[in-house]
Structure 1
Amino acid sequence: MMICEINSHSLPVRPRPVQGEATIGFLMRVALANGYETPRQLWIGLRTFDAVCKALCLSAEEENTLFGPFPSYWGHNDFKYGLTAADFNHSLMRWCPLCLRESAHLRGQWMLKLCCVCSRHSIRLLDRCPICGSTQRLERANFDRCICGAWFANAQYVDTDVESVVRITQTLEASIFDKVALPSLPSLSAQEWLRLISYLGQFSETFQPAKPGKIANTHQLDTAMSLMFNIGWLLDSWPENFHVILETIQRKEAAKLSIRRTFGSMYRVLYVDLAEGCFQFLRDEFERYLHEYWRGVVSKRNKAFKPETVATHPRVTLKQAAQKTGVAPAIVSHIMQSELIPYGLVDLPSGRKVRSIHKSNLAQIKALMNGCMAIGEAATLLALPECRVRELISSGIITPLISRVHDKSAAWLIAKQQVQRLFFTSSEPRNVFSAITVRRLLKYWHLRDGEFMALVQALSESRLVPVALQSTPVSLGNVTLDEQEARKWLEEVRFQVGSSMSVDEAAKRLCLKQQVVYDLVRRGLLVTIEDKLPGRRVMRTSLEDFQATYISLAEFSRSLQRAPRWVLKKLHVPPISGPLIDGSRQYFFRRSDVCSEALRVD
């Protein structure tokens, strides 16, 4: 169409702006009402936005109702409320179909890049045609319909299921005209909210950017929605979710001495990118997190922190702990290595290890030292010989604070808590045929290597239960046991480790009489050996080989649920030993022979 030059007061149709209408949206309405296809065609005649205002006879009050930028070819934008050109979308159109149904004009807040939901209807904004799927550019006049003919107000919409995104959007829109705050957060202006969202919105529980900065493609809804979702989740439960992100970063990074290197991009955002005073609440919360969870020390080198953060940090170095407690650094180091007190450990690239201690544990170090004893005192308290205490130390059951082996000290130093772990509480009093204390057991039962440690383990795991008249804790040496139960336990331990056993013990395990087993030994059916112990000895392997090779008539009869005499008559297999064979007291067969005869017997 032919475009002629327009006199500044000659626009035939003069639409009036709506409160909060987008400036570009108003220009689109003016262009459409006066027969132009785009705002650029309107610009050819008027050239400046001020000329449009004069041509429409807009008052200053009406002009102030508009929000957002106009295209740069109209002239220089005078951004209000501290906003900049980078905060706005200059090319693609967004809209809420429900809002367009109520009033056919573009809302100014939709022009903000980070505005991706309708704060009025709690639905996601649209930027694509519902029919052809094409993105909708702002350089047009007919803003309520696509070139394919689809009406934007009739588009299907999606309810947002994230209330926090709606709350952030409402807060952001309210901050355009005045500083507002979310619960537990300070008041921020619109420009400050946008900076906060742009930087902290890049962090989530599962992703932390390596180099945070200005994000590309925030004019696209999906990108903006991701930022708003992250910041909504972060601020929805402040500061708990902030601590979750910090904990994730700290857990992912290998232990480092430097706070700046550990928290990397988050540290840069808090102390460089968002260094303004309005964001001090972020740094305060970060430093509170360090006070609680940082396992290293906070020294004066951390000049970015508040002085009180450094002064009140609760962790001290190993050397400082030694000075404050009056204990030698080597002893403090061994206390930490023994995990008697919790401590933080940082491995430096050089291989050196730096340890830190919470100030609340300093009193515990003093208490540990006050409750320490020498090995003789520990033996007296446990009612055991010193050699048995050394066995407990060698096996790791007792961990001394200072030992001759590890620390090259002149004496042993054992914490009382270590000794008290070997005090046991008796069960309810009960009558036993014979009782024996652990001290007498060790003296007269001639335990073999490792059996004393197995005894302590059995008591700790309640596989052996003390019996006594009192229910107060009893030292290891004075623990009273049922003698029969203790002997059964010891026999089982020796059997499990494959130790040799006497013929009498073998008879008990075979459930045979002693005379029968002695007959089996004499005839070579049960193999025995001679070792350091007196008498013939039976190995566990020999016992298992005998059970796998031979079976008594009594056992075979029980398996068939028949009388032994009936089974003996029915079997066509001759026994290898028995009263009529070699004068022994029981019949024995080879298992392989009787198994083949079992079906015929049945």
Structure 2
Amino acid sequence: MAALKIDQLLRLTWFLGAYAIRQEAKAQKIPGIMHLECAVNMVEATAAALSDWPNGFHLLLDELGKRTSLEASGNKLPAHFGRFYPTLYKSFPEPSFSFLREGFESYIGDHWSGQLNKRNRRFSQASRDSHEWISIKEAAKILHMRTTKVRELVENGLLIGRLFATASGRKMGAVLKDSVTLTAVGQAGLVTLAEAKEMSGFSKKRLYKLLGDGYLRAARGPGVDGYPIWQFERAALEEAIRLTKGEART
């Protein structure tokens, strides 16, 4: 920040000061800009945003974000922050403004519960990779299940995420990446139908009958989440085997 030239500092003041005092879609079109009072307000607002870096800047972003809820913005950064977002990257590409971009990306990393993907190409790859939230679609791909099942898991509290409907009625949302990872690890310990057949000594026909009769409950499968392979929790399978063989002895 100390390395900024006077013309760069003026550009930055025009940018941050305008959004700080107006917070409108076209904040930099300022009526009365030639009045001293307006200019003083912009300089003071810029100084506040740059002080105690990056906390002052993050407070400004808090205020900008209050204009539009995550639901109303459709979980999209450009809609949530308006022209501030593209202007920050297009108008300040110089290396000397890297602190500005890094400050914005650190704020998004800490506060944005929407996903970041390839569309957010202005963000560094490191910021996209380290972001804690992913889309419903990406979570479904990792977990090998339908997006409707992912939404159901979120609604039932089995995945940590947030869902909302846009103004057009489209269902959107994001899932915490760590939550998806834990679920994927749990799925790795599931037993397939072929493995269940080997463990129990039962035929596939008998295992299907246990499913139909309610003795055995599948964790995944065609009739559960659309996954093509039937899978079972090991403990549930062992209990079903025990009960079935116990009945056979009586």
Query: Aligning the two structures, in what range does the TM-score lie when normalised by the shorter sequence?
Result: 0.5 to 0.7
1:318-333 correspondence to structure 2 within 5 Å: 318-326=136-144, 329-333=147-151
The aligned residue for residue 38 of structure 2 is 223
Q: How much has 1:216 moved relative to structure 2? A: 4.9
Q: How much has 1:307 moved relative to structure 2? A: 3.3
The aligned residue for residue 170 of structure 2 is 352
The aligned residue for residue 77 of structure 2 is 259
* Cα deviation code 1:183-240 (max 9, x no counterpart): xx35101111111111101233x75132133645444331122012111211112211
Closer, same or farther: CA 291–196 of 1 in aligned 2, 3 Å = same
CA contact (8 A) 1:201 1:228 kept: yes
Match among 85, 110, 116 for residue 298 of structure 1: 116
Task: Say which structure, 1 or 2, has more relative contact order (CA 8 Å, 6+ apart).
Answer: 2
Which amino acid letter does the alignment assign opposite residue 272 of structure 1?
K
- What is the percent sequence identity of the aligned residues? 27
Report which of the two structures shows the higher radius of gyration computed on alpha carbons. 1
Give TM-score scaled by structure 1 length.
0.29
1:397-436 correspondence to structure 2 within 5 Å: none
Closer, same or farther: CA 186–347 of 1 in aligned 2, 3 Å = farther
Structure 1 ranges of 4+ moved more than 6 A = 367-372
RMSD over aligned CA atoms reads 3.5
Measured in 2, the distance between the counterparts of 1:303 and 1:283 equals: 13
The aligned residue for residue 187 of structure 1 is 3
CA contact (8 A) 1:336 1:342 kept: yes
Measured in 2, the distance between the counterparts of 1:291 and 1:352 equals: 25
CA contact (8 A) 1:234 1:241 kept: yes
Structure 2: runs of 5+ lacking an equivalent: 191-218, 226-231, 233-250
Measured in 1, the distance between the counterparts of 2:5 and 2:97 equals: 11
Q: How much has 1:241 moved relative to structure 2? A: 2.3
Question: More helix per residue: 1 or 2?
Answer: 2
Q: How much has 1:327 moved relative to structure 2? A: 5.3
Measured in 1, the distance between the counterparts of 2:186 and 2:170 equals: 27
Which amino acid letter does the alignment assign opposite residue 41 of structure 2?
S
Q: How much has 1:270 moved relative to structure 2? A: 0.5
Q: How much has 1:250 moved relative to structure 2? A: 2.5
> How many equivalent residue pairs?
195
Measured in 2, the distance between the counterparts of 1:265 and 1:319 equals: 27
* Cα deviation code 1:126-174 (max 9, x no counterpart): xxxxxxxxxxxxxxxxxxxxxxxxxxxxxxxxxxxxxxxxxxxxxxxxx
1:30-69 correspondence to structure 2 within 5 Å: none
The aligned residue for residue 61 of structure 2 is 246
Measured in 1, the distance between the counterparts of 2:139 and 2:172 equals: 13
SS of match in other structure, 2:174: strand
Q: How much has 1:371 moved relative to structure 2? A: 11
Which amino acid letter does the alignment assign opposite residue 351 of structure 1?
G
The aligned residue for residue 269 of structure 1 is 87
* Cα deviation code 1:397-421 (max 9, x no counterpart): xxxx99xxxx9xxxxx9xxxxxxxx
The aligned residue for residue 50 of structure 2 is 235
Measured in 1, the distance between the counterparts of 2:85 and 2:7 equals: 21
Which amino acid letter does the alignment assign opposite residue 240 of structure 1?
N
Closer, same or farther: CA 275–347 of 1 in aligned 2, 3 Å = farther
Measured in 1, the distance between the counterparts of 2:186 and 2:151 equals: 13
CA contact (8 A) 1:203 1:230 kept: no
Which amino acid letter does the alignment assign opposite residue 313 of structure 1?
H
SS of match in other structure, 1:345: strand
Q: How much has 1:367 moved relative to structure 2? A: 6.8
Measured in 2, the distance between the counterparts of 1:187 and 1:254 equals: 36
